[in-house]
Every structure is written in structure tokens, then in C-alpha cells.
Amino acid sequence: MKDLKNKVALITGGSSGIGYGVALSLLNEGINVAITSRDEARAKAAAAELQKMTTTSAKAIGVMADVRKYESQQNAVKQVLAEFGQLDIVIANAGLGHFGSIEELTPEQWQETIDTNLSGVFFSIKSSVEALKKSKGYFISISSLAGTNFFAGGSAYNASKFGVTGFTQSIMLDLREHNIKVSTIMPGSVATHFNGHEPDNSDAWKIQSEDIGELVVSILKMNERTLPSKIEVRPTMPASK
């Protein structure tokens, strides 16, 4: 996408963390942005904050959507199209994590992780693929280094993110014949509010949400002949012992 101004992006789970950082970066490029949350008030409040922070005239809106439900994600896409008339970029970012030994992990925690992190990505592209065909758009999933590196206590999270990585790479092959570009970003440690964490100075060594936003902008600006289909990104240095 040589000119990003006036493009339209939908970001799932965009009211905080990585999604919020990506939203601000896109707004500052002149891209209109819709962010989703399961909490409508939270989505609208975050959009209002983003609107105040952007350096351009691009518009931010908040939309209530639950990525675990196909109909909900379809409605989000319909709202974006009604508001802006087009959809050029979809960032499947919404996610959560339940961690613990397989002996401790409950069926409910397993199901919520898979439904949100993996099925949510499927529903996000399934509901937006026709709009992206029209715009010859871009779909980006936010996976994780946990989608290639397994660890103890991470069975549900690893399974979901391994799935996201594989799923996104497969649909990249499906959709390029329609001139839809597909990438997955696999961050390591990011300073976000994930699982109730409150970022502070001790997180300074981690990737920051705005860093992922900068990366997304770089991907979108890549020459159309080139597709960075799978990108691993990690902190330069690990935390000090």
C-alpha cells in the first residue's frame, strides 16, 4: 500500500496493549481505525483517547465485538463498512492466556483460550474476506513466539498460537490469488496489560506496543511485490538477572 492515507483498518482487541499501540500508529499515518472490545464502553472510551492523541485528521471509532462469536465479528465488519464504506486492513489481535500445568488447566480455560486466540482469528478473516477482496487489502494476525517455542505450563496458549501461525500461513497461500496480502507477527515479551499485568519501569527492556505499531506500518508500506509473511520480533536484550 503505497499511500496509507484514508485507508480503513479494523483491529480486534484494540482498546489496550498491542492493539491500542497499532491503532495509534495507523491513525498517525492517516488511516481510519475501528477498534473492538467485548465491552462497548471500553471500546468507545479508547477510541476517544486515540482520537485526541493522533496527529492527523483520521477517525477512530470503538465497536463492541466478541471474536469468539462469528456473528459478532460479522456485525463489526458491517459497522465498519457502514461508517467508512470500505475495509482495507484487518489486524487480528485479540487474545488471552491461561497458564499452568496440564493437571491444573481446566476444560473451561482451554476452551476460552482456543476460542479467543485461534477461532477468533478464523472468524476475523472469514467475516472480512469479501471486503478485503474488493480493496485488495491486508490481513495481519498477531501470533507469538509461543507459536513456535513451547514451554512448561503453556499447553493451551502454545496450542492456540501454534495454530494461529499455521492458520495464517495457510490462508496466505489461499488469498494471494485475490491480491490479499497476509502476514503474521510473532512478538516475544511485550510490555502490555496482558493477564492483568500493569506495565511499569521494570518492563522497559521489553518490546513496547508502539514498536509493534511501527512494524505494522513498515509492513503495510512494503513494496507490493514483496510479502513479509512471518515475522519474529523479540527484545534486543533479555531482562537483567
Instruction: Look at residue 149 and tell me whether its pLDDT is greater than 60.
Output: yes
Q: Is 20 a residue of the active site?
A: no
Query: With bands split at pLDDT 50, 70 and 90, how would you rate the model's confidence at 50?
Result: very high
Nearest to 141 by CA among 181, 86, 189, 178: 181
Instruction: Look at residue 89 and tell me whether its pLDDT is greater than 90.
Output: yes
Type of residue found at 165: T
SS3 (DSSP) at 84: helix
Torsion of CA 172, 28, 95, 167, to 10 degrees: 0
At residue 207, what are phi and psi to the nearest 5 degrees? -60, 140
Nearest to 1 by CA among 100, 69, 89, 103: 89
Cβ atoms of 66 and 72 closer than 8 Å: yes
Amino acid 197: pLDDT: 59
| Cell 488447566, residue located | 105
Cβ atoms of 24 and 9 closer than 8 Å: no
CATH topology of domain 8-233: Rossmann fold (3.40.50)
| Strand boundaries in 15-133, DSSP class E | 32-37, 60-64, 89-92
**Cα angle for residues 211, 217, 221 (degrees, 5° grid):** 145
Of 20, 70, 138, 157, the catalytic one is 157
What pLDDT, in 10s, does the model give residues 161-197? 999 999 999 999 999 999 999 999 999 988 876 656 5
Amino acid 10: pLDDT: 98
Instruction: Look at residue 114 and tell me whether its pLDDT is greater than 60.
Output: yes
Q: How many residues does the chain have?
A: 241
